[in-house]
Amino acid sequence: MSGIVGVVGLGNMGRGIASRLLETGHKLVVFDVRPQAQREFAERGATIAGSPRAVADEAAVVLVSLPTPDVVKQVALGADGLVQGRAIKTYIDFSTTGPQVAREVGEALAQAGIQAIDAPVTGAVTGAATGKLQMMLSGDRATIAAVTPVLQHLGHCEVVGDRVGMGQSLKLLNNLMVATAMAITAEATVLGVKAGLDPDVMLRVLNRGSGRNICTEERWHKHVLNRKFDNGFANGLMRKDVRLCMDMAESLQVPMWVATAVDRLWMQTVLQVGAEQNTTTIVQTLEQWAGVEVRGNAA
């Protein structure tokens, strides 16, 4: 596959994805509603488009990395949306939108002769910037095979199903699990400090034991103990992912007891600390109730 690649959405993830494609020799046409995000890519040689439609007029393959299901629908199907573009043949959604919206958008695009592929990712901003994302691909196998030479520059490509929406379902499970790990690690470490334990000692020991997880091993050191809270994923987006997972569970009639409590704590974090703050600030929700801080030597 050759030619110009389109990218819509140049935020925390899209910026890294687009940078990685530029670094690996791809020509890009990009669009974001934030002029500042566009300027950065203009300076690096990308073509700047005035709308999603203008991206899809230039590029046969268009990647999107957008915040919410509503924005994804607007960009794909709305006025001046990708669906109206002259060149687009394949639409690849890196956002976390849930299976229902992925199917709706996929069906509408198919009517215009455009193949939709799910490609939600894990790996956070560092994975996006360094080409180490895990992509959960689903959709038409031949289309996935055709775009894999581009996608493999972004990380590991795993085909998880042959229908649009299946990648999204798996992504929601992943985010429910990390949302739960963050919630319980916040509760446990705040309780530990309240009980008089030193946060650095506590994490060192937990990480040699059976209670460890990605938060104790990585995120708390990088973003909580040093009080930087700069992990690059917003509380509002995490809350959206947990809600999408609960919607999926509701539609499939699977009871979710633990997830229900986790959902409440993320809602509380959005209200109490803020939707725009990074997800490691879930610790602050608990800290404010308990009157202690999980502050390490690095702070």
Q: How far is the C-alpha of 125 from the C-alpha of 237, rounded, in Å?
A: 14
Per CB under 6 A, 13 contacts ligand NAD:
yes
Residue 77, CA atoms < 13 Å, CB-side half-sphere: 17
Nearer to ligand NAD, 29 or 292 (CB): 29
Site track for ligand NAD across 236-265, x = CB under 6 A: -x---x------------------------
- For ligand NAD, which is the closer residue by CB, 102 or 259? 102
User: Does residue number 74 form part of the binding site for ligand NAD (CB under 6 A)?
Assistant: yes
Quick check: 190 binds ligand NAD (CB under 6 A)? no
HEC sequence for the chain: CCCCEEEECCCHHHHHHHHHHHHCCCCEEEECCCHHHHHHHHHCCCEECCCHHHHHHHCCEEEECCCCHHHHHHHHHCCCCHHHCCCCCEEEECCCCCHHHHHHHHHHHHHCCCEEEECCEECHHHHHHHCCEEEEEECCHHHHHHHHHHHCCCEEEEEEECCCCHHHHHHHHHHHHHHHHHHHHHHHHHHHHHCCCCHHHHHHHHCCCCCCCHHHHHHHHHHHCCCCCCCCCEHHHHHHHHHHHHHHHHHHCCCCHHHHHHHHHHHHHHHHCCCCCEHHHHHHHHHHHHCCCCCCCCC
Is residue 34 within the footprint of ligand NAD (CB under 6 A)?
yes
Task: Give yes or no for residue 95 binding ligand NAD (CB under 6 A).
Answer: yes
Q: Write each residue from 119 to 158 as x if it is in contact with ligand NAD (CB under 6 A), else as -, in one continuous string.
A: --xx-xx---------------------------------
Residues in contact with ligand NAD, counted by CB under 6 A, come to a total of 28
Shortest CB 213 distance to ligand NAD, Å: 17
> How near is the Cβ of 42 to ligand NAD at its closest, in Å?
15
Among 24, 33, 145, 204, binds ligand NAD (CB under 6 A): 33
Please provide the size of the chain in residues.
Answer: 299
Exactly one of 27, 73, 89, 171 is catalytic; name it. Answer: 171
- Under the binding rule (CB under 6 A), the answer on residue 229 touching ligand NAD is no
Q: Is 37 a binder of ligand NAD (CB under 6 A)?
A: yes
Would you call 171 a catalytic residue per the annotation? yes
- Applying CB under 6 A, which part among 22-30, 144-152, 160-168, 229-237 lies near ligand NAD? 229-237
What are the residue numbers of the active site?
A: 171
Which chain residues interact with ligand NAD by CB under 6 A?
8-14, 31-34, 37, 65-67, 71, 74-75, 95-96, 121-122, 124-125, 232-233, 237, 241
